[in-house]
Structure 1
Amino acid sequence: MASNKISLADWQAKLNPSGNTTTLKDDPNLVFSTATGRINNKPSDKVVGQNYEDGAVRIRRETKGRGGKAVLTISGIAKTADELERLAAKLKKKCACGGAVKDGVIEIQGDKRELVEQLLQAEGFKTKWAGG
């Protein structure tokens, strides 16, 4: 009975006939390589928020569709998803409440407009209250 086993070097040569190993690292399906170890995807540097024309960050109090509970939405910050997550975490910690980042908008549970406004101004943002 013939064996269908091949060596690792032969297998890699079949995958990459030129012998260049950089294309193996760039393969999106590859999660581990014996040469380099675990391959992590780099975080995206894509900006998820949008700035307003006047450069101000909008703080809006919403209750619609939330069972009557107040939620502050903070929009107008054009930063990457990681930076928005860090800013939201800082705001949630200072306000002692929950929240999330959804589609480039930071949501903070509760009605703490004054505190959130002070914290954002301390971070260097120009703020405006929007809505009711």
Structure 2
Amino acid sequence: MSKKISLADWQQQLTGATAESTKPAKQADLVYSTATGRIDASSPAVSAAEGFADGALRIRRETKGRGGKTVLTILGLTGSPSELSQLCTELKKKCACGGSVKDGIIEIQGDKRELVTTLLQQKGFKVKQAGG
């Protein structure tokens, strides 16, 4: 049975402020977090890189929270981070624009939905356009 501690005690252990232990506490020892509330150790962590039930990728155009700039997000990709970054690099080269991979989601700068859809379909992906 693991020992449960408060968030303040856990943070003290991480910074090394306590005299009894200089090792940080395990994540399972965390009982409450201000970001997510009560921590339930029995529930598995949800990863952002999960595919959709129909197996299709979602290409979504977003502008909110980006200073009015348009960004395409490609959701539903599964694979290792190196595979995602390799696919992102290829899409950026073909689209002649910037982009990145964040939490299993590929972001491509600009509104190039038709081109990205065509490129992904040529690679054998099933693609759906979502959002505006």
User: Any stretches of 5+ residues in structure 2 without a counterpart?
Assistant: 1-46
**TM-score when scaled to structure 1?**
0.63
Deviations along 1:44-100, one digit per CA (max 9) or x if unpaired, are xxx962110000000000000001110000010111000000000000000000000
Amino acid in structure 1 at the alignment position of 2:54: D
- Aligned match of 1:65: 65
1:94-109 aligned at under 5 Å gives the runs 94-109=94-109
Residue 128 of structure 1 and its aligned partner are, at CA, apart by 0.3
- Aligned match of 2:120: 120
Following TM superposition, the consecutive aligned residue runs of length 4 or more in structure 1 with deviations greater than 3 angstroms are none
Partners of 2:48 and 2:78 in 1: CA distance = 6
Amino acid in structure 2 at the alignment position of 1:98: G
1:75 and 1:127, CA in 2 relative to 1: closer, same or farther beyond 3 A? same
**How many corresponding residue pairs?**
86
Partners of 1:61 and 1:114 in 2: CA distance = 11
Amino acid in structure 2 at the alignment position of 1:87: L
User: Any stretches of 5+ residues in structure 1 without a counterpart?
Assistant: 1-46
- Aligned match of 2:83: 83
**TM-score when scaled to structure 2?**
0.63
- Aligned match of 1:130: 130
Helix, strand or coil at the partner of 1:108 = strand
